[in-house]
Amino acid sequence: MAEPQNFSNHSKMVPLFHRGLFLLIFIVLVWSVRQLVTAFSLASAVQVVSAVALFLTAFFARVFAVKAQDRVIRAEERERMNRVLPDDLKGRLSELRLPQFVALRFASDGELADLVRRTLAGEFAKPTDIKRAVKNWRADDERV
């Protein structure tokens, strides 16, 4: 059985994508640049442009997927916060930035109000600090 999720193990990596694909693209890019430098031709120039386009496609596929997940997390957390937070904090949700919503998703309902209050007070410099402050971790097994 898998270990329960916590701060130290919550990051997910898909090795075939994060390491394998980017390593292959990097190798193709380096090889293409080498070919361009050692034996310049129109074909080698097209190969470099294609390798750069392939890298950018893979990079932005990841960036766009994470952005979409962040937006879903913000919507889910706004709904949860409107359910569990006291009225004085509900009115201040617009002050939270997206990375703060993403970090607060790990907080249990019982500690959410305190962490939101501390976040709004500027106690946490980075979203990572919010995650470190969570005592009762609420796992997010959906994010990749």
Mean pLDDT, rounded, for 81-104: 97
Q: What is the pLDDT of residue 55?
A: 94
Buried b (16+ CB within 10 A) or exposed e, 21-51: beeebeebbeebeebbeeeeeeebeebbeeb
pLDDT band at 17 (very low <50, low <70, confident <90, very high): confident
Mean pLDDT, rounded, for 38-62: 95
Residue 69 corresponds to which tokens in the numbers above? 């997940």
Counted residue by residue, the chain has a size of 144
pLDDT band at 6 (very low <50, low <70, confident <90, very high): confident
Considering the entire predicted model, what is its pTM?
0.81
Q: CA 81, CA 95: separation in Å to the nearest integer?
A: 13
pLDDT reading at 144 higher than 80: no
* In the chain, domain spans: 15-66, 85-139
